[in-house]
Structure 1
Amino acid sequence: MKKILLIEDNVDVRENTGEILTLAGYDVVTAPNGKNGVELAMQEKPDLIICDIMMPELDGYGVLHILSKKDETAGIPFIFLTAKTEKTDIRKGMNLGADDYLTKPFDDTELLNAIEARLRKSDLQRKLYDTTEEGLENFIRDARQVLRLEDLCKDKKIKPFKKKAEIFAEGDTPLYVYFVRTGSVKVFKSHPDGKELITNIYNANDFFGFEAVLSGNVYHESAIAMTDCELIVIPRHDFLTLFQAHPDVSSSFISLLCKKVAEQENQLLHLAYNSVRQRTAEALLKVEQLRDARQNIQISRDDLAKIVGTASESVIRVLSDFKDEGLIEIEGGKIRIMQAAKLEKVVRWNVAR
């Protein structure tokens, strides 16, 4: 049962509203003023707070300001209940972080609809979603209910791509965000002289292609399937609707963006200062997820060289050294990592110990 804290100094309004909420199946806690309301909010940790604005001792703005500064109450949905209807009052409440604003007099349906909408949205924001196809489906389903958009992601499709098939090219206008269902995808930058540098490899349960959608620019990289793969394709408009409407969506993708920036900064640093031997060891560890059923890494020497940022011949020489040292095995052109810990030491110290 959801718990609601009702802060209202008018006895009649407090009792009538409390009765409505109780009949609707909520556990109701009431406070006659703002000061008492803050104390009860800290004690009871309600699922939602309904608060009048004009009250003695501490008004509704003060209540919201205090609770929004405390970690344990900052995330509780907050609805203002007041007779004041001026736009400046509404704007002040929203700027402080209120989730909704109901004006007196209000009817039962209006009140209950506002509460249900805020509780649904709060549940969605608190809910953790796995970065799997099932987690994506669950999130889209819940978001449809909260946003009341039944058509959200209805155009989402699963598209197969054959190995070496182009997904998008540098300079293309972004129309979709991609989620890897199966297989692997490489994203790379092209130099005017025709050389390529692989900047990222995406495997099952990874999102990619969203940076250009968020920035509103063309793709600055190209994407090609490294293996036969299946991608869930989410239309640009639907993705932006989710991103803009839900803090949990935006925060998760901001985290991904920050992670990608950090990875690319490390990659640039390593290209500048690490030896080919170090970079090759790091690339092998990075592509380890491309293993087949026999634990062999399926990647061409050309692609491996594009990750390392050097010529294929240089990578082949380093791979031969690693084989002689017992760090890897090579059979039929496929690579199997035998001593991952020693490859990690190569990355750190340039010495296999």
Structure 2
Amino acid sequence: MEKDKILVIEDNQEVRENILEILELSNYEIVEAAHGKEGVEQAFATLPDLILCDVMMPELDGFGVLRILGRDIRTRDIPFIFLTAKTEKLDFRKGMGLGADDYITKPFDDTDLLAAIEMRLSKRKRLEAKTSPQQLTSPARFQQDLDAWLENREERHFQSKAIVFEEGQIANYLYYVQHGVVKSFMLNELGKELITGLFNPGQFMGYLPILQDQVYNENAMALEEATVKLIPKKDFLEFLHRTQGASDHFLKKLAQNVTRMEQLLLDIAYSSVRKRLANALLDLSEQFQSDEFSISRENLANVIGTAKETLIRTLSDFKDERLISIEQHKIQILNKGKLQNMPN
């Protein structure tokens, strides 16, 4: 009988080795990773049956790992359990909102760990057993369906700072970023801008107002030269209804966006500028999947909801503290651990 494969992502070697020993004695096949980036690579390479992942790690934390795996059709349905010493309610909500299946706080005993693993694996197997072969859609098949659906769609090219769509327009199209980066943003009565999202190649924009049958509730603008595909509303809704896995794909995207917006609003309401900037830099690193990325001072200020002058001073402080390096519009994160643990 084939063993269930479990990927353990944990930066603390002693804790990781202890977990590996428990799992090996319980007859599981084990794959290990010492940090988040390695964990993502191992997940794509081995496609495990379940993932155990620490939250606080250097380079890429557990939330970042879950976001990246949740975007990929091959890994988004793998049961995901967080292992963490953090017990704050907000962190729990953030993890579950991103799609985690369970949350185990350290220290934990062997029985609790194994019970959580067995429950998630059993639940997945029951769901698979109830699904007929005709209903099953492999990740590769869904990706093929998605690629075919996007092929030969109308493309529009936008120069930097060109408007893609505006708040109040009728939501007639779903937008797919083919090339470049597009930002979504809102404006208050005084014209002050708050950036609500950054969209890279391979990401969709504008599906929520289509599902709600409403107008666009925000604006979208190209941050650089961009190519965007336009999918008519009718085609999008038909795709959701007739394509296995499509509804699940977009529902997960919606859940991730809601969680991100909750975090953004909480940061603006309660966090210091330093804390907001630290969180924004970490989030941008995850979105661009790199510790180095380009963003203007004005746009970064609008991401965290502060004045440009305040942002520049805080960036300078971070640079002096060797948390980041700055070269023109390029920012490189040098110390993720300190940014993750930035006091409020």
Could you tell me which residue of structure 2 aligns to residue 220 of structure 1?
217
Indicate the structure (1 or 2) with the bigger Cα radius of gyration: 1
Alpha-carbon separation, structure 2, partners of 1:72 and 1:280: 43
After superposition, where does 1:1-353 map in structure 2 within 5 Å?
71-76=127-132, 119=134, 122=135, 125-129=136-140, 135=143, 138-139=145-146, 141=148, 156-288=153-285, 296-346=292-342, 349-350=343-344
- The 3 A distance-change label for structure 1 pair 291 and 203 is closer
What is the aligned-residue RMSD (CA, Å)?
2.6
Unaligned runs of 5+ in 2: 1-125
Alpha-carbon separation, structure 2, partners of 1:269 and 1:292: 24
Alpha-carbon separation, structure 2, partners of 1:279 and 1:74: 45
- The 3 A distance-change label for structure 1 pair 129 and 185 is farther
- Please state how far the C-alpha of 1:337 moved relative to its aligned partner: 2.0
Alpha-carbon separation, structure 2, partners of 1:174 and 1:236: 8
* C-alpha contact (below 8 Å) 1:291/1:298 kept by paired residues: no
* C-alpha contact (below 8 Å) 2:171/2:233 kept by paired residues: yes
- Please state how far the C-alpha of 1:292 moved relative to its aligned partner: 12
* C-alpha contact (below 8 Å) 2:187/2:193 kept by paired residues: yes
One-letter code aligned to 1:314: T
Aligned residues: 219
Alpha-carbon separation, structure 2, partners of 1:304 and 1:183: 17
Deviations along 1:303-328, one digit per CA (max 9) or x if unpaired, are 10110111111111110100110111
Query: What TM-score do the two structures reach when normalised by structure 1?
Result: 0.57
Query: What TM-score do the two structures reach when normalised by structure 2?
Result: 0.58
- Please state how far the C-alpha of 1:242 moved relative to its aligned partner: 0.7
Identity of aligned residues (%): 37
- Please state how far the C-alpha of 1:154 moved relative to its aligned partner: 7.2
Deviations along 1:26-69, one digit per CA (max 9) or x if unpaired, are xxxxxxxxxxxxxxxxxxxxxxxxxxxxxxxxxxxxxxxxxxxx
- The 3 A distance-change label for structure 1 pair 171 and 162 is same
Could you tell me which residue of structure 2 aligns to residue 55 of structure 1?
none
Flag as ranges the 4+ runs of structure 1 deviating above 6 A: 152-155, 289-293
Alpha-carbon separation, structure 1, partners of 2:214 and 2:162: 23
- The 3 A distance-change label for structure 1 pair 316 and 140 is closer
Alpha-carbon separation, structure 2, partners of 1:167 and 1:219: 11
- Higher relative contact order at CA 8 Å, sep ≥6: structure 1 or structure 2? 2
**Secondary structure of 1:287's match?**
helix
